[in-house]
Amino acid sequence: MPKALYSLKTFFLLFITIYLGYQFFSLDIQPIPWFDETFFASIAHHLWQYNTLVPEIAATAMNQKPILIYGPLYFKLTALSFEWFGFGIWQFRMVAMLFGLGTIAIILRIKNQVLNEKQFVKKDMLWALLLLTDPFLNLSMHEGRMDLVALFFVLLGIFFFTVAVQKQQKGYFVLVGICMALGLLTTPRVGFIVLAFAGVGCYLWLHNKIDWKAVVRMKFPAMVLYGLWINSCGGFRKFIEIYFGAFDNSNTQNTITNYLFSNLYVPKHEYVLIATVLLVIGISRVKTNPFFNHFVCWIAMSSVVLFYLLIKDWGPYSVFILPFYYLLLMGFQQQETTKWIHTVILTVLLTFNLGYFGLKATQTILSAPERNPKLAYDFVRQYIPKGSKVIGDATYYYAVVQNGSSYEYIDKYATLTRREELLRTKYKYQYVMVSDIEKARYVSNFQYFSQKSPLKLIARLDLKPSRQVPFLSAFDAKTYGCSLYKVMH
């Protein structure tokens, strides 16, 4: 092995070691628990305890309604994590983080398979660094959402399809169908990728690149697995009603309307990446590039187009097309004639990714004392007896449940008047936790609740805002500071 390559691999292994150490260290620190995460964690917790998909954090406001719009796989995996490692932030987020790392590995395997690169080379280290430090991918690994789990299975299906077609490994087509079904059973939001894949698959079939037996091998296991889920939901008619019915009593729109039809939102984290992709494709001789004629390129391009046509995004969902941006970069930067220009462009992207990752890591490490979840846990243990019923925003869900009490949202689902009535008369809450950061946002909620029930301030958790690093959002300054009120009768 050349000395330069040996030194590069040594540096890369050192970076991986530090990177993994940082990820595990910061997993329960960044971010502070938030709405989506706690909603999903409460479903997993309820599944673990009672074997149903009820979001216990909103159970009263939603009339104990199970959540069936996503699929059961992510909740099964996170419930299993609770079973093996106990309940907590780290245990819940660990699933998304591990599947995020797996997603990076699968992207690199697809690249090597498509470009016929059989071993780990210097370019793979560059791509791994770009993916590991991508701002949006890192954000998704810590958010506690199911997106990376679904993405992992769909990309694994694309990888198996690539192997099956290029190497004529017919048995792999069965694995393709299984993986696509597992992705959909995590969240049907990856359906746009499955649709792009199916379209490309039909094209290959019509042009005799794959035969009808391959199509059957893919479709049969996918239909069986997803059919079992549809049956468990009460049959096809009930299954359709889940998506065309209202999500909760205050929602006049159905679930399909809420989640489909693009609003063309692009997260700021992705501006540099998208500009890089467009530049690389723009200066490439697209039609003479072998990658342009590869079906993975078609799947990647189709997925990006369908995402912006079909998916209503308000922030997290762009992670679904992130791998396809990188696959397009990997494929179109192969031409020798424009290689030096591509190197400059990719250097700019790597500088941005490393710089943003460094700022974020600095923010997280500096703010660790104020964002330590043990602060919330100790505060709850000191002032709230076990078996109590508590309401508040998402911030304190883990701390309250870990201490043996129940917790529900003060600010989510049903109308304000209906939610207050249900929480007061049916749930019969005893404590209210008011986050310092969220106080201004839901001040009207707290004021209304205090009018209906006599509340007394009994404790304060005073914490200064997290140390803020330039260019990062104010969300990163959030801490566990709060006021605790008790209902006086």
**Cα–Cα–Cα angle for 198, 203, 209, nearest 5°?**
110
If asked whether residues 329 and 416 sit together in one domain, one would say no
Decide if 214 is inside a domain: yes
Decide if 99 is inside a domain: yes
Percent residues over pLDDT 90 in the chain = 55
Q: Which amino acid is at 473?
A: S
If asked whether residues 275 and 401 sit together in one domain, one would say no
Decide if 351 is inside a domain: yes
Choosing from 364, 396, 419, the residue where a domain stops is 364
Find out whether 299 and 197 touch, Cβ atoms under 8 Å: yes
Confidence label for 236 from pLDDT (cuts 50, 70 and 90):
confident
Tens digit of pLDDT for each residue in 373-392?
999 999 999 999 999 999 99
Choosing from 364, 397, 424, the residue where a domain stops is 364
Residue 305 has pLDDT above 60, yes or no: yes
What mean pLDDT comes out for the span 20-44?
A: 93
If asked whether residues 299 and 417 sit together in one domain, one would say no
Q: How far apart are CA 437 and CA 455, in angstroms?
A: 20
- State the pLDDT at residue 475: 54
Find out whether 40 and 74 touch, Cβ atoms under 8 Å: yes
What is the overall mean pLDDT for the chain? 87
What mean pLDDT comes out for the span 104-125?
A: 83
If asked whether residues 409 and 301 sit together in one domain, one would say no
What does each C-alpha distance from 378 to 32, 36, 396, 430 come to in angstroms? 16, 24, 11, 19
Decide if 337 is inside a domain: yes
Domain range for 380 is 374-487
- State the pLDDT at residue 255: 65
Rg (CA), the chain: 24
* 424-443 residues labelled b (16+ CB within 10 A) or e (exposed): beebebbbbbbbbbbeeebe
Residue 39 has pLDDT above 80, yes or no: yes
Residue 210 has pLDDT above 60, yes or no: yes
What mean pLDDT comes out for the span 201-212?
A: 88
If asked whether residues 222 and 155 sit together in one domain, one would say yes
Environment class of residue 281 by beta-carbon count within 10 Å: exposed (0-12), middle (13-18) or buried (19+)? middle
DSSP H or E stretch at residue 81: helix 73-85
Decide if 233 is inside a domain: yes
| The pairing of beta strand 482-487 with beta strand 455-461 | antiparallel
If asked whether residues 473 and 390 sit together in one domain, one would say yes
If asked whether residues 191 and 151 sit together in one domain, one would say yes
Tens digit of pLDDT for each residue in 253-304?
566 666 777 677 888 888 999 999 988 888 877 666 778 888 999 999 999 9
| 139 Cβ contact partners less than 8 Å away, ≥ 6 residues apart | 269, 316
- State the pLDDT at residue 479: 83
Confidence label for 326 from pLDDT (cuts 50, 70 and 90):
very high
Sheet hosting strand 431-435, strand order edge to edge: 406-409, 389-392, 431-435, 482-487, 455-461
If asked whether residues 73 and 105 sit together in one domain, one would say yes
Give the SS3 label for residue 223: helix
Q: How far apart are CA 418 and CA 372, in angstroms?
A: 35
pTM: 0.92
- State the pLDDT at residue 2: 61
If asked whether residues 358 and 440 sit together in one domain, one would say no
Q: How far apart are CA 51 and CA 418, in angstroms?
A: 28
| 158 Cβ contact partners less than 8 Å away, ≥ 6 residues apart | 110, 176, 197, 296, 299
Choosing from 364, 386, 406, the residue where a domain stops is 364
If asked whether residues 166 and 208 sit together in one domain, one would say yes
Residue 177 has pLDDT above 80, yes or no: yes
Percent residues over pLDDT 70 in the chain = 88
Confidence label for 331 from pLDDT (cuts 50, 70 and 90):
confident
Q: How far apart are CA 344 and CA 406, in angstroms?
A: 54
Look at residues 443, 423, 433, 432 and name the one whose alpha carbon lies nearest to residue 62: 423
Decide if 285 is inside a domain: yes
Please give the backbone phi and psi of residue 403, each rounded to the nearest 5 degrees, phi first: -90, 10
Find out whether 310 and 124 touch, Cβ atoms under 8 Å: no
Q: How many domains does the chain have?
A: 2
Decide if 42 is inside a domain: no
- State the pLDDT at residue 123: 77
If asked whether residues 385 and 325 sit together in one domain, one would say no
Tens digit of pLDDT for each residue in 120-145?
567 788 899 999 999 999 999 999 99
If asked whether residues 148 and 205 sit together in one domain, one would say yes
- State the pLDDT at residue 38: 95
Decide if 52 is inside a domain: no
What mean pLDDT comes out for the span 44-68?
A: 93
